[in-house]
Chain A
Amino acid sequence: DAGVIQSPRHEVTEMGQEVTLRCKPISGHNSLFWYRQTMMRGLELLIYFNNNVPIDDSGMPEDRFSAKMPNASFSTLKIQPSEPRDSAVYFCASSPGQGATYGYTFGSGTRLTVV
């Protein structure tokens, strides 16, 4: 298996532009998680899906952030409009089951820079 695949690896955009991050989970995993990592705050969970349904989006910072999972093999995280404080590394992770029982596999992340 190729693992969790994220694209792009790096994204540089201007403030106010729309940014879309993409994730392909491991085949057969039915839980998917979006995390954001910064030096100040460490790893923070933004949202997670189970069987393509958003279960908890309480970590999404504000309405500028949205996430979708149209099918079991694809998810997007969109920021519109982007701001410099959104600069961070965004990770996607997947798990075979709901919640924490089976452990998590992470993608390599997308490093986002908003100038």
Chain B
Amino acid sequence: KQEVTQIPAALSVPEGENLVLNCSFTDSAIYNLQWFRQDPGKGLTSLLLIQSSQREQTSGRLNASLDKSSGRSTLYIAASQPGDSATYLCALPRNRDDKIIFGKGTRLHILP
């Protein structure tokens, strides 16, 4: 059974710092992995989708990596800004024809 873990549950860093958010999963036979952002009281916004054949994806200041063999993905945020404050969730499918399951997220707070 696939389980998704995100540690830490919460993180506070000063503005301008680079930071890394972690996501681990128990079954390495994944098809893809998706990172989402959720602002308080809002829906989920897709940030990056990494297919199983890829090692990383980049969008602006965000870079997501995937290491299936170790069951890990990281989301790197460069030059953090107060507007990056949100909860970041990773999600992946149980199998190819199935729906995704979510980690519980990391609540990020960027200190001005």
Q: Which residue of A lies closest to B96 (CB)?
A: A99
Most chain A CB inside 10 Å of its own CB: which residue of B43, B45, B49, B93? B43
Does B72 belong to the interface (CB within 8 Å)? no
Does A18 belong to the interface (CB within 8 Å)? no
Q: Which residue of B lies closest to A33 (CB)?
A: B99
Give the complex CA separation of A48 and B92 in angstroms: 15
Is A109 touching B101 in the complex (CB atoms < 8 A)?
A: no
Is B102 touching A43 in the complex (CB atoms < 8 A)?
A: yes
Given known A42-B105, A43-B89, contact A103–B34 (CB-CB < 8 A): yes
Interface size range of chain B in the complex: 20 to 34
Does A98 belong to the interface (CB within 8 Å)? yes
Is B100 touching A104 in the complex (CB atoms < 8 A)?
A: yes
Which residues of A from 81 to 115 have beta carbons under 8 Å from B? 91, 93, 98-101, 103-109, 111
Does A14 belong to the interface (CB within 8 Å)? no
Is B93 touching A100 in the complex (CB atoms < 8 A)?
A: yes
Does A53 belong to the interface (CB within 8 Å)? no
Residues of B contacting A104 in the complex (Cβ-Cβ under 8 angstroms): 34, 46, 91, 100
Interface size range of chain A in the complex: 20 to 34
Give the complex CA separation of A104 and B36 in angstroms: 10
**Candidates A43, A45, A91, A105; contact of B46 at CB < 8 Å:** A105
Inter-chain contact total with CB atoms closer than 8 Å: 56
Which residues of A from 49 to 91 have beta carbons under 8 Å from B? 56, 91
Most chain A CB inside 10 Å of its own CB: which residue of B46, B96, B98, B99? B99
Give the complex CA separation of A109 and B98 in angstroms: 22
Give the complex CA separation of A103 and B97 in angstroms: 12
Does B31 belong to the interface (CB within 8 Å)? yes
Give the complex CA separation of A19 and B1 in angstroms: 33
**Candidates A48, A98, A103, A108; contact of B49 at CB < 8 Å:** A103
Chain A positions within 8 Å of B, measured between CB atoms, are 33, 42-43, 45, 48, 56, 91, 93, 98-101, 103-109, 111
Additional 8 contacts, C-beta under 8 A, given A99-B99, A103-B46? A93-B44, A98-B97, A100-B92, A100-B98, A104-B91, A105-B46, A108-B43, A109-B42
